[in-house]
């Protein structure tokens, strides 16, 4: 398509980078022009540089030459929108360099998420935070911008909380997660550590879930003020994070009311008809035994979340439920692509 906007992917060889590439292959608004990665991949063709073998790419994609993580390489190709799947340790500096050089950086890295002037954007939840980049540009004196998507677990959780928060307010949230191995990247979790096993710990994850959730669900620059606590666990599934959620709402609420607001929920992306926006964004299921990762993770092409077992909870005299989302799509690459679509529809791109 002639009119597509050219984009690039930073850190394109890892698991999330590959997912960006895969999703961009069919995006109607953006065209993948550049894949970039660290020194050891530069100059190779993409098909040889990628780690693991989870995605079956087209030959065209496989033959792209991997470029360095350098703004110039992108400018030469008239690309000024980049998606970042860089590891957190290098993302901080490289993403800033791109932003300084005028690029819009849509990042899955955690490095900048908690910066005061950087939005964590989950577009059905806090599309209005996008305006924070005006302030960011002023303050940082750059033409580019850094916009992050949430941590995978947080993206799924906050989308499920949004309609509840709007309708009833929130006082407390307790969440325990069962997270798929793809969340740890590649090679990530050793098979010896996870077959017939659970690892009840994911580094920094609980802190991320707790802080990011409040930032996303609050006003710009002002976190929401409910209490949230999480326990995060790795389980032997490939893709799809499951979260058991217990909530206490400000205003009393009942399971049937929660079901109602979840089912009726539409976010800004749905109202704007953005190409990647799932519709509905929240699928409520009524079978006893759903959602299940292997069966439900691709709901809404991996962009919807699936909620089940919405039921009465005695501890908070409120509601508990189970939510599932695709950690690499809704929880990572797909979310940033939807953010880019939002930026375009708002005129930032």
C-alpha separations of 219 from 131, 203, 216, 251, 304 in Å: 11, 28, 8, 20, 24
CB 77 within 8 A of CB 31: no
Q: How far is the CB of 82 from its own copies (least distance, A)?
A: 25
Three-state SS at 118: coil
Q: Which of residues 139-178 bind its own copies (CB under 8 A)?
A: 172-174, 176, 178
Q: How far is the CB of 147 from its own copies (least distance, A)?
A: 28
Q: Which of residues 8-47 bind its own copies (CB under 8 A)?
A: 15
Spell out, one character per residue from 299 to 318, where the chain touches its own copies: x when CB under 8 A holds, - when not: ---------xx---xxxx--
Nearest Cα to Cα of residue 108 among 68, 151, 74: 151
Q: How far is the CB of 332 from its own copies (least distance, A)?
A: 15
- Of 107-115, 145-153, 257-265, 289-297, which part binds its own copies (CB under 8 A)? 289-297
Per CB under 8 A, 181 contacts its own copies? yes
Q: How far is the CB of 152 from its own copies (least distance, A)?
A: 15
* For its own copies, the closer CB: 136 or 160: 160
Nearest Cα to Cα of residue 303 among 259, 336, 348: 336
* For its own copies, the closer CB: 219 or 295: 295
The helix (run of H) or strand (run of E) holding residue 147 is: strand 145-148
* 241 labelled catalytic: yes
Q: Which of residues 189-218 bind its own copies (CB under 8 A)?
A: 189-201, 203, 210
* For its own copies, the closer CB: 145 or 245: 245
* For its own copies, the closer CB: 212 or 341: 212
Spot the catalytic one: 241, 318, 326, 335. Answer: 241
* For its own copies, the closer CB: 117 or 296: 296
* For its own copies, the closer CB: 23 or 174: 174
String of DSSP letters for 14-60: SHHHHHHHHHHTT-SSEEEEEEE--GGGTTSBHHHH-SS------HH
The helix (run of H) or strand (run of E) holding residue 98 is: helix 88-100
- d(CA 19, CA 108) in angstroms, rounded, equals 11
Tell me whether residue 54 is exposed, middle or buried, using C-beta atoms within 10 angstroms of its C-beta: 0 to 12, 13 to 18, 19 or more: middle
- d(CA 204, CA 276) in angstroms, rounded, equals 29
302 DSSP assignment: G
Q: Which of residues 215-254 bind its own copies (CB under 8 A)?
A: 227-229, 231, 233, 235-238, 242, 244, 246
Q: How far is the CB of 193 from its own copies (least distance, A)?
A: 6
- Of 49-57, 64-72, 108-116, 329-337, which part binds its own copies (CB under 8 A)? 49-57
Among 260, 290, 301, 348, the residue binding its own copies under the rule CB under 8 A is: 290
Sign of CA dihedral 300, 305, 306, 307: negative
Spot the catalytic one: 112, 129, 152, 335. Answer: 152
Number of residues forming the site for its own copies (CB under 8 A) = 59
Angle at 244 between CA 252 and CA 125, to 5 degrees: 65
Q: Which residue has the tokens 């005028």?
A: 102
What amino acid positions are annotated as catalytic residues? 152, 241
Chain residues in the site for its own copies (CB under 8 A): 15, 52-54, 56, 172-174, 176, 178, 181-182, 186-201, 203, 210, 227-229, 231, 233, 235-238, 242, 244, 246, 287-295, 308-309, 313-316, 320, 322
């Amino acid at each position: 398509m002639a009119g597509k906007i050219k984009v690039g992917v930073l850190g394109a060889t890892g698991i999330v980078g590959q997912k960006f590439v895969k999703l961009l292959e069919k995006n109607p608004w953006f065209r993948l022009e550049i894949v970039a990665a660290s020194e050891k991949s530069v100059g190779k063709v993409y098909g040889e540089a990628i780690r693991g073998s989870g995605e079956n790419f087209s030959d065209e994609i496989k033959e792209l030459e991997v470029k360095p993580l350098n703004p110039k390489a992108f400018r030469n190709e008239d690309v000024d929108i980049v998606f970042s799947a860089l590891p957190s340790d290098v993302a901080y500096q490289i993403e800033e360099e791109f932003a300084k050089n005028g690029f819009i950086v849509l990042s899955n890295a955690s490095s900048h998420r908690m910066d005061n002037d950087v939005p964590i954007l989950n577009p059905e939840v806090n599309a209005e935070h996008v305006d924070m980049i005006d302030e960011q540009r002023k303050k940082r004196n750059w033409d580019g911008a850094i916009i992050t998507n949430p941590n995978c677990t947080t993206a799924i959780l906050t989308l499920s909380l949004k309609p509840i928060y709007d309708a009833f307010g929130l006082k407390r949230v307790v969440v325990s997660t069962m997270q798929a191995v793809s969340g740890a990247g590649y090679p990530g979790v050793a098979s010896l550590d996870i077959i017939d096993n659970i690892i009840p710990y994911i580094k920094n994850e609980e802190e991320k879930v707790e802080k990011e959730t409040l930032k996303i669900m609050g006003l710009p620059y002002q976190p929401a003020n409910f209490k949230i606590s999480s326990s995060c666990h790795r389980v032997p599934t490939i893709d799809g994070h499951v979260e058991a959620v217990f909530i206490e709402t400000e205003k009393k609420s009942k399971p049937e009311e929660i079901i109602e607001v979840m089912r009726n929920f539409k976010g800004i992306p749905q109202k704007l008809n953005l190409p990647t926006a799932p519709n509905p964004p929240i699928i409520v299921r009524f079978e006893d035994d759903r959602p299940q990762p292997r069966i439900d993770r691709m709901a809404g092409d991996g962009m919807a979340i699936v909620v089940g077992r919405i039921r009465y909870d005695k501890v908070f005299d409120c509601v508990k439920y189970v939510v599932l989302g695709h950690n690499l799509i809704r929880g990572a690459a797909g979310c940033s692509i939807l953010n880019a679509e939002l930026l375009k529809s708002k005129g930032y791109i």
